[in-house]
Amino acid sequence: GAVVSQHPSWVICKSGTSVKIECRSLDFQATTMFWYRQFPKQSLMLMATSNEGSKATYEQGVEKDKFLINHASLTLSTLTVTSAHPEDSSFYICSAWMGGATDTQYFGPGTRLTVL
C-alpha cells in the first residue's frame, strides 16, 4: 500500500517551454502533497505544500508564478514548470501524506527534467 506515482519519469524540453508533472496517490487519499527539488549529490529541498482544493504554500525563494501547482483531487497534484530554462533542470519529487495518525510521507519515483 501507500504507492505514489509520477508521470513522466523523465522529460527533455526546449528552453522557454512549459512542462507539467503529475503526482498521483494510487491506493490512498492524500490530505496533502508536497513537491521537492533535488540537485545531484544534494538533499531534497521542499518547494511547496499542496492541499486539495486550496492554493499551494510555497517555500521562501520559490517562485509561485514559475512553478504552478494544482491539486485538483485527493489523489492528484500537478507541478507545471513554466518557461523552463536550463537552470530548472533537476530531479523533481512529489510526496503524499494521508494525514490522520500517520505522519509518514510516501514519495513518488521522481521526474528528471532536462531543459536544453
Partner 1 sequence: GESVGLHLPTLSVQEGDNSIINCAYSNSASDYFIWYKQESGKGPQFIIDIRSNMDKRQGQRVTVLLNKTVKHLSLQIAATQPGDSAVYFCAENTDSGGSNYKLTFGKGTLLTVNP
**What is the sign of the dihedral through the CA atoms of 109, 50, 74 and 79?**
negative
The stretch near partner 1 (CB under 8 A) out of 11-19, 62-70, 76-84, 90-98 is 90-98
- Using rule CB under 8 A, residue 49 touches partner 1: yes
Q: Is 54 in the site for partner 1 (CB under 8 A)?
A: no
By three-state DSSP, how is residue 29 classified? Answer: coil
Among 29, 63, 112, 116, binds partner 1 (CB under 8 A): 112
Report phi then psi at 23, rounded to 5. -130, 125
Contact 46, 40 (CB under 8 A): no
> Closer CB to partner 1, residue 67 or residue 106?
106
Give the nearer residue to partner 1 in terms of CB position, either 13 or 46: 46
